[in-house]
Amino acid sequence: MAPTSSLNSAGAALLVFEPEAEYRRHSLAGYWGPVTSSIDWCERNYVVTPFIAEFFNTLSNLGMIVLGLSAMYLHAREGMEARYVVAAFTLFLIGVGSAAFHGTLTHIGQQGDETPMVIGSAVWLWCLAFSDPAFEAKHPKLGSRCAWLLGAFVALFGYMHFLYSFVAVFQVLIALMVSTMVFTLTRMWRNSIDRRRSGWLFAIYLGSILIALPLWIIDQHFCVHLHSLPGGLPNPQFHAWWHLLMGANCYMGPIIHAPIRLVALGKKPSVRYWLGVLPYVQYIDGRKL
């Protein structure tokens, strides 16, 4: 049965699952008090521990946090441009904010999740828009001006979202930003000279989001069915898998984009593997050969 909308104690729209018995099981009280966020996800609250509202949805953010920190370290170590370090920091920030949201289901925790998602998307859109060094040289001040405009937009969004918690507006905005990012990077990769060697990296990038999106939808719209699977099977916690897959997607984006940017800068990039597992980009300056 589909979820219906009600109001929580703070007067905000709260996702409620029918029948009523299911909702009562879903709404156990815990350390952080009643739900004040405008969304309550499918995972039942405070089941594993009274200190974490949604245990699996919170724990799964460790993937984003670890990948974000690893990318910051590797990009800085390899002398990559600051834009890639900043993009990695936003991935780390999203992981921390999402953990705060799912761990507390509070209004302030929700802001810590959703506003960093807009920040990260804005940073990555800027990186994609200013990929071509020739374009940057032709318009030397445009990049900084766009960065300031995006910063002002994010600040305004964060303030308004804190006041009104507009869930639908946020979801539409993120959908538009992510669609633009995926489409733009896909086009760049298809036109790159090294796409054959990076094909499997791109497959992870695109495949992760194509798998994550239906899992997010199923978790939100078929929650009652996920809690009553045949044979007593447990809820597969699709929203937690969404976190893991989107962490991989966000990490792989710069790994695909950086070689394209570096070739345009006259450098020779290659993909290496930290600890034999995690891909990162290394390069040499072609003009020194």
> Annotated binding site for Ca(2+): which residue ranges?
40-41, 43, 45, 54
The full DSSP string for 164-181 is: H--HHHHHHHHHHHHHHH
- Report the C-alpha gap between 1 and 3 in whole angstroms: 7
Tell me which residue of 131, 80, 124, 127 sits closest to 271, measured CA to CA.
Answer: 80
Tell me which residue of 105, 87, 97, 86 sits closest to 33, measured CA to CA.
Answer: 105
> Annotated binding site: which residue ranges?
40-41, 43, 45, 54, 102, 239, 243
CA 274 vs CA 36, 75, 78: distances in Å: 41, 12, 12
Residue 283 DSSP SS3: strand
Tell me which residue of 135, 122, 98 sits closest to 180, measured CA to CA.
Answer: 122
> Annotated binding site for Zn(2+): which residue ranges?
102, 239, 243
